[in-house]
Amino acid sequence: MIQFSDFEKKIKVVFKNKALLKQSFTHRSYINENGGTSHSHNERLEFLGDAVLELIVTDFLYKKYPNYTEGELTALRSALVNAIIISEIASEVGMNDYLLLSKGEAKDYGKARMYILANTYEALVGAIYIDQGYEVTNKFITKTLLPKTEEIVNKKLWRDAKSLVQEKAQEFVSVTPAYKVLTQSGPDHDKHFTVGIFFGGDLIAEGKGKSKQEAEQSAAMGALKVKNWLD
């Protein structure tokens, strides 16, 4: 039996509404497999948490980098709130141990788990916001996610990968990269795309994402790494 009180101690947030905390960890597949359960899955909380997370991150970046342009701030925010970073944070906080999943989903530790963790972190943000308010939510995000900002800025990971790989490909191999969807799966509310980046007829790298744009960015970053073009 999962003891969410242990998790509350970990994050130093004690929920008034314990059902809300449990809901934030509940994946749709768990509800489908356990039809008689009294609580709902976490997708509405994720919807709210996504917006709260974006506001808090935007406010932080706006104040911290007064000389950055709107475009630079947008790119930096995208690098900070992408699924890979957020799933890493969720793992570091120990959220993996509290996920309520179907038996099938529980066995999958690949890309699907990464997206589930990222979505659950957003749902948790939504739950903290409803239960504790803005200030406590801000503290939670400041403690868990925002420390990643320095690494992203120092390594210039915020730069738009598609623009950079196009610039490098034209400079070094005189081609314009092309992107092609290799596979797509999942229902409409939870699509997953795999996109390939091609130089001419050559597949250079693949990327995955919950949208074609996200998968293209991932593929572009992969190509930059393969070609050693990240200066």
Residue 101 has pLDDT above 70, yes or no: yes
Tell me the Ramachandran region of residue 71: left when phi exceeds 0, alpha when psi lies from -120 to 50, beta otherwise: alpha
User: Picking from 74-83, 105-114, 120-129, 140-149, which range would have the lowest pLDDT averaged per residue?
Assistant: 105-114
Residue 111 has pLDDT above 80, yes or no: no
CATH of domain 161-226: 3.30.160.20
Distance CA 19, CA 114 (A): 24
Active-site residue flag, 190: no
DSSP percent split of the chain into helix, strand, coil, nearest 5: 65, 10, 25
Return the sign of the alpha-carbon dihedral for residues 119, 224, 216, 60.
Answer: positive
Identify the top-confidence range among 70-74, 111-115, 216-220: 216-220
Residue 190 has pLDDT above 80, yes or no: no
Burial state string for 126-135 with b = 16 or more CB within 10 A and e = fewer than 16? bbbbbbbeee
Q: Where are the domains of the chain?
A: 4-154, 161-226
Average pLDDT, the chain: 90
Distance CA 210, CA 208 (A): 7
pLDDT of residue 54: 95
List, for residues 136-163, the tens digit of each pLDDT value: 999 999 999 999 998 888 777 677 788 8
List, for residues 41-55, the tens digit of each pLDDT value: 999 999 999 999 999
Distance CA 193, CA 183 (A): 6
Active-site residue flag, 50: yes
Return the sign of the alpha-carbon dihedral for residues 136, 91, 153, 180.
Answer: negative
Torsion, Cα of 77, 81, 85, 91 (10° steps)? 150
Residue 34 has pLDDT above 70, yes or no: yes
Q: Residue 175: helix, strand or coil by DSSP?
A: coil
pLDDT of residue 36: 62
Of residues 110 and 225, more confidence is placed in 225
222 contacts 231 by C-beta, under 8 angstroms: no
| Angle (nearest 5°) at CA 155 between 154 and 161 | 130
From 33, 43, 46, 50, the catalytic residue: 50
Show the tokens assigned to 218: 């991932």
Return the sign of the alpha-carbon dihedral for residues 46, 47, 49, 53.
Answer: positive
pLDDT of residue 113: 86
- 4-154 belongs to CATH 1.10.1520.10: yes
pLDDT band at 231 (very low <50, low <70, confident <90, very high): low
From 105, 122, 131, 214, the catalytic residue: 122
Please give the share of the chain, as a percent, with pLDDT higher than 70: 97
Q: Single out the residue of 118, 114, 122, 116 nearest to residue 51, CA to CA.
A: 122
pLDDT of residue 183: 95
pLDDT of residue 198: 97
